[in-house]
Amino acid sequence: MKRYICFTGGAQAETRDTDVAIIGSGLAGMYAAYHLNPSLRRVVFTKNTLETSSSSLAQGGIAAVTERDDNFTLHFEDTIKAGAGLCNPAAVRVIVEEGPAEINELIKLGANFDLDSEGRLLTTREGGHGMNRILHAGGDATGLEMVRTLEKTVKGMPNVLIRENAFVSDVITDEYGVRGLMSFEDGRWILYRTNHVIIATGGLGQIYRYTTNPVVATGDGFALALRAGAELADMEFIQFHPTALYTKESRNTQCFLISEAVRGEGGILLNEAGERFMKGRHPLAELAPRDIVAREIYREIQKQKLPYVLLDITSKSKDFLVKRFPTIYNTCLSHGIDMAKDPIPVGPVQHFMMGGVKTDLWGRTNIDGLLACGETACTGVHGANRLASNSTLECLVFGRRCANTINSGFKKRGGGVPVPCDTDCAGTVAGTEEKIIDLKGIMVKYCGIVRNADDLSRGIERVREMLCGIESACLKGVREMELYNMATVALQVLLSAYARKESVGAHYRIDQERL
């Protein structure tokens, strides 16, 4: 594995200084930026526009105890149960008990959550939750509302620099810890010297053929952390969301999510024969944990001709659906589906990474000065399977905790930092896009919803062959660097999935537990 992938080609890199560097502009990264000491200079890097992140796409909402008949113990127990016994209890207590305060903070900043007729926070229920505790905004635009609120706030703060279209290739380290990072901006390399880096780059969905993740989710944060010497954990635990809109156009790009909240509001799943198949498969039926619903849908698809099942919420009126799910309703309508009259064709797709860069409960990795939060991080809070709408809560709680870690232990930068460069490379990568498409096919075929040793072994072999072909090449563009990151991370997922022999949570080994 390359230590550094930046290739300057002998060109001089500009050097800049900052107190804190935040890689990623989603909910976790922006909330960390907001909570940092205002006197600290901070740079937020995003490789696309500020608005492009998985956080902005979060439809269902954010889970938090706000109702009188709910409590921390119930939320804790639901999270532990969904995580199949592998959650870190301490991490679960942190998000459950600190979450409501973060909701109140967002409201103070101007976030408009949906309210009932009496002006109280409106809640609903999603899969795996025993109580109504999912807050939402704009019906099904919760993530967008939270991100917009934070963007407006952070942009107005002093000492904040936003770098859009900036691809961070490497975190620079020495024997003492973090010394800086390399960013590729407008066709040139820039070295940012800093002792504090927060990785909040989101997930890795684009290593799969079908995913709800945006096209920027190429696993960069996992890869650059690994190259810097950080530990990864639980990489086998990939969550497949049960219900994404089935369209041929979404292949190899991004699938449109049909929120779990649709089932929470009464939507039922039907096979091609019109049979409601989740009834009797689990006590919670359509509201069972995501891994269970996804596998049951997979089973039905394997037994029928149609490559999808049907999500039927025609029991609700058009007025209700338009108000509660405006984004979903209009998107379905654009595909010729009136969800007030027609069932929605859906199927399971990659959605979330439970594992990631291993951190403690304050966002710290094993590398001094390197922190991680949000989907990129692994505190163990999700165990083997994430409970619905706990991800947005995780972003807020651990984003703030990362900021608090730096605020209380800030180290002023000192000394020079050499510009790293992949000086041992030769030649270029041929057929980058073809290789990316091939990688997606490998992952969906050999490391999907249902896995076995033979497939995983073959997947490992195929990805290693791909990496061998690009390991010695000079990565001269963003897409080539993304390919290297994607293949690096895909190999980690495959190796972890192969190593865990038993089926647990989202990791399902058919050779250990027959369908």
Strands of 123-124's sheet, edge to edge? Answer: 62-63, 134-135, 123-124
Nearest to 50 by CA among 153, 181, 169, 158: 153
**DSSP state for residue 168 in the 8-state scheme:** E
82 residue type, one letter: A
Which residue in the list 263, 290, 400, 509 is annotated as catalytic?
290
Cβ partners under 8 Å of residue 370, min gap 6 = 171, 173, 177, 178, 197, 199, 225, 228, 230, 364
Stated as kind and residue range, the H or E segment containing 179 is strand 177-185
| Separation CA 367–CA 356 (nearest Å) | 15
Nearest to 135 by CA among 71, 67, 62, 59: 62
Q: Respond yes or no: is residue 290 known to be catalytic.
A: yes
Nearest to 63 by CA among 86, 97, 112, 88: 97
Nearest to 475 by CA among 419, 420, 429, 424: 429
| Separation CA 118–CA 308 (nearest Å) | 40
Structure tokens at 50: 């500020």
Widest Cα–Cα separation across the chain: 69
Stated as kind and residue range, the H or E segment containing 464 is helix 453-470
Stated as kind and residue range, the H or E segment containing 428 is none
Local structure of 511: helix, strand or coil:
coil
481 residue type, one letter: M
Contact by Cβ (8 Å): 160, 34: no
| Separation CA 45–CA 199 (nearest Å) | 10
Residues involved in catalysis: 290
